Amino acid sequence: MTQYFIHQAEAVFGFERPVSIRLRDGIIADLGEDLAATDQDMVIDASQCVVYPGFVNTHHHLAQAILKGIPAGLNQGLGEWLVSVPYQFWPHITPDLMYIAAKLGLYEQLRSGVTSCADHHYLYHAATTPELEEAVWQAAQDLGVRFVLCRGGATAQGSHKGMKGSTIQPESLSLALTRMEKSYQQHHDDSALSMKRLVVAPTSLVHTSPAEDLKAFAQWAKVRGLKRHSHLLEVGFDEQIAQQKFAMRAIDYAAHCDWLGDDVWFAHLVKADEYAIQRLAQTGTGIAHCPTSNCRLGSGIAPAIAMEQAGMKITLGVDGSASSENASMLQELNLAWLLHRSQAGPEATKIEQVIRWGSENGADLLGLKTGQLAQGYAADLVIYSLDSLRYAGVHSRLQGPVLCAEPAKIAYSFINGKLVVEQGKVLGVDEAKLQQEVNEACDDLISRAMTH
């Protein structure tokens, strides 16, 4: 395995002065101001570059990479958008289409600085074939992304009208558990430097499974030491349904189903009030904050600052390209930095803080030894080049990539010590070929959806 030596960066995140970094056997082997290259090292010239830990995207939906800008959903909020976009199309996504969507979605993330992706894959129904999920694992492996598959799905027809109005037959609990057991045996690796993890992730906590099934999922996950994930409180509808159906607050319902804890994180939590924030913080429950998607669907702004002050771990997610068409983790950091300032003033967020949300916090939440530029951590890092007119005039060099956001200019990106992006090119993707495959996939998907 090639041993890399990153030399003479302008700035390195987490360090007062630039350090050189040696990557060996998949980990950051050495860091230091006085470190010198050896004959075994492949030297990477990082002059006019800054080095960040690779970003950890804690909430995505790769299938949505071929559902960008569906016209009917352009001006709809979550409830209607779910009907027009994901629920209309996903039953028609075949394993071949899924592989192409996953490859595109992972490409988008790699080119914006992601090295670890937690994908909330929910395309399961009674007659799903295992190949659909295998396509996702395979794409992650082919692109060399550190990958966490959050296994979604529904075990009830549910209260979302998108699901109710579709032809999707939910899985039974026993079928879901049997299928998950196979994925767990085949793919899950619980080592700290794991490239493949399984997470138990019923699609929407309030809507897609009854309480007894949620308790069974919790138990199943705990026995195997797996983490858990779901959507919660993205819009006010969760609170409304929890009160109507269960006569309790949504957050209390989560507690009632044994779905709060330091092994759990929820996407969105836009409508978490002070009471919910306290319960989440006290139990160590985390959040995947997805600001672009929340803006796009008009859902609101998650109270991330209040959450962090209460002790919650804030992490960032892109949330799939159908409600976040730029599909850029760098934009999520930039927007997270801006959005909370618009509400709470110019000291509400710092660039360093949102970089931590997007890297170290995400890794901690997923239990992965990555997200930090430190000895013994996974060799997952991104080297942004500032050597172009685009960054001319930027005084805060370390902060430059987040300040200026897209388009990113990545010189090199490493995952597990392997080079995955070089001079902006995602290795392992033939761009022209993938573009053609995506175009054909979109045509195929539309024709399938029209004829069913």
Q: What is the dihedral of CA 123, 126, 131, 134, to 10 degrees?
A: 50
Residue closer to Zn ion (CB basis): 266 or 391? 266
Closest approach of Cβ 324 to Zn ion, in Å?
A: 9
Count of residues of this chain found to bind Zn ion when the rule CB under 5 A is applied: 2
For the segment 112-151, give every residue that binds Zn ion (CB under 5 A).
none
Question: Two tokens at 345?
Answer: 């003033």
Question: Two tokens at 254?
Answer: 């989560």
Stretch that binds Zn ion, among 153-161, 196-204, 311-319, 354-362 (CB under 5 A): 311-319
Residue closer to Zn ion (CB basis): 119 or 258? 119
**Identity at 25, one-letter amino acid code:** D
Stretch that binds Zn ion, among 313-321, 356-364, 400-408, 439-447 (CB under 5 A): 313-321
C-alpha 113/C-alpha 328 separation (Å) is 8
Residue closer to Zn ion (CB basis): 111 or 121? 121
Closest approach of Cβ 265 to Zn ion, in Å?
A: 12
Q: Is the dihedral of CA 300, 305, 307, 308 positive or negative?
A: positive
Do 55 and 41 touch, CB atoms closer than 8 A? no
Figure out which of the listed residues 171, 213, 263, 319 binds Zn ion, where binding follows CB under 5 A.
Answer: 319
Closest approach of Cβ 390 to Zn ion, in Å?
A: 31
Residue closer to Zn ion (CB basis): 46 or 150? 150
For the segment 397-426, give every residue that binds Zn ion (CB under 5 A).
none
Closest approach of Cβ 413 to Zn ion, in Å?
A: 25
Stretch that binds Zn ion, among 49-57, 207-215, 245-253, 318-326 (CB under 5 A): 318-326
Residue closer to Zn ion (CB basis): 53 or 158? 158
Residue closer to Zn ion (CB basis): 270 or 426? 270
Which single residue brings its beta carbon nearest to Zn ion?
Answer: 319
Closest approach of Cβ 151 to Zn ion, in Å?
A: 14
Closest approach of Cβ 267 to Zn ion, in Å?
A: 5
Closest approach of Cβ 90 to Zn ion, in Å?
A: 13
Closest approach of Cβ 61 to Zn ion, in Å?
A: 6
Closest approach of Cβ 162 to Zn ion, in Å?
A: 13
For the segment 69-98, give every residue that binds Zn ion (CB under 5 A).
none
Residue closer to Zn ion (CB basis): 9 or 267? 267
Bond prior to 407 in cis (omega within 30° of 0): yes
Residue closer to Zn ion (CB basis): 20 or 166? 166
Question: Two tokens at 269?
Answer: 């939590």
Closest approach of Cβ 263 to Zn ion, in Å?
A: 19
The contact pattern for Zn ion, residues 242-271, with x = CB under 5 A and - = no contact, is: -------------------------x----
Stretch that binds Zn ion, among 77-85, 95-103, 319-327, 334-342 (CB under 5 A): 319-327
Stretch that binds Zn ion, among 147-155, 315-323, 354-362, 418-426 (CB under 5 A): 315-323
Residue closer to Zn ion (CB basis): 319 or 380? 319
C-alpha 73/C-alpha 76 separation (Å) is 5
Residue closer to Zn ion (CB basis): 52 or 89? 89
- H, E, C per residue of the chain: CCEEEEECCCEECCCCCCCEEEEECCEEEEEECCCCCCCCEEEEECCCEEEEECEEEEEECHHHHHCCCCHHHCCCCHHHHHHHCHHHHHHHCCHHHHHHHHHHHHHHHHCCCEEEEEEEECCCCCCCCHHHHHHHHHHHHHHCCEEEEEECCCCCCCCCHHHHCCCCCCCCHHHHHHHHHHHHHHHCCCCCCCCEEEEECCCECCCCCCHHHHHHHHHHHHHHCCCEEEEECCCCHHHHHHHHHHCCCHHHHHHHCCCCCCCEEEEECCCCCHHHHHHHHHHCCEEEECHHHHHHCCCCCCCHHHHHHHCCCEEECCCCCCCCCCCCHHHHHHHHHHHHHHHHCCCCCCHHHHHHHHHHHHHHHHCCCCCCCCCCCECCEEEEECCCHHHCCCCCCCCHHHHHCCCCCEEEEEECCEEEEECCEECCCCHHHHHHHHHHHHHHHHHHHHHC
Closest approach of Cβ 302 to Zn ion, in Å?
A: 13
Residue closer to Zn ion (CB basis): 283 or 299? 299
Binding site for Zn ion (CB under 5 A): 267, 319
